[in-house]
Amino acid sequence: MSDNQVNQKLVACCGLYCGACNAYKSGKCKGCRENHKAKWCKVRSCCLERNIATCASCSAFDRPVKCSKFNNIITKIIGFIFNSDRAACIAQIKRLGLGEHARLMSEWKRQSVKKRK
């Protein structure tokens, strides 16, 4: 498997880029879309129900993020620990499109846009 994949299908529902994740690269995870075990994730379930690739295609997504599935105390703690800003990923998808988001994340070798300090 390539170490630096550019594939817009590897953009997760929440905007993370699975193509830059070690679990994906080592074959331990098939990525958000194919990870049928991830039933715990409300964002993934919501996007699947709405038949959209990511929250960027949802009219309920805005900034600051009011959607409680996307933005809640757990997601805030995870974002803090991993220095990740999924809302910025979704904003980047809205701005540049899925393909360019995937290309940039692959180039940066990052799953998420960094949180601003």
Phi-psi region of 103 (alpha: psi -120 to 50; beta: other; left: phi over 0): alpha
Closer residue to ligand SF4 in complex, CB, 44/101: 44
What does residue 57 show for φ and ψ, rounded to 5 degrees? Answer: -95, 10
Is residue 56 within the footprint of ligand SF4 (CB under 6 A)?
Answer: no
Least Å distance, CB 13 to ligand SF4, is 4
Least Å distance, CB 16 to ligand SF4, is 5
Please identify which residue in the block is written with the tokens 């974002």.
79
Measured distance CA(12)–CA(53) in Å, rounded: 8
Measured distance CA(78)–CA(82) in Å, rounded: 6
Measured distance CA(54)–CA(93) in Å, rounded: 9
Size of the site for ligand SF4 (CB under 6 A): 19
Binding mask 12-31 for ligand SF4 (x = CB under 6 A): xxx-x---------------
Task: Return residues touching ligand SF4 (CB under 6 A).
Answer: 12-14, 16, 32, 38, 41, 43-44, 46-47, 50, 55, 58, 60-61, 67, 69-70
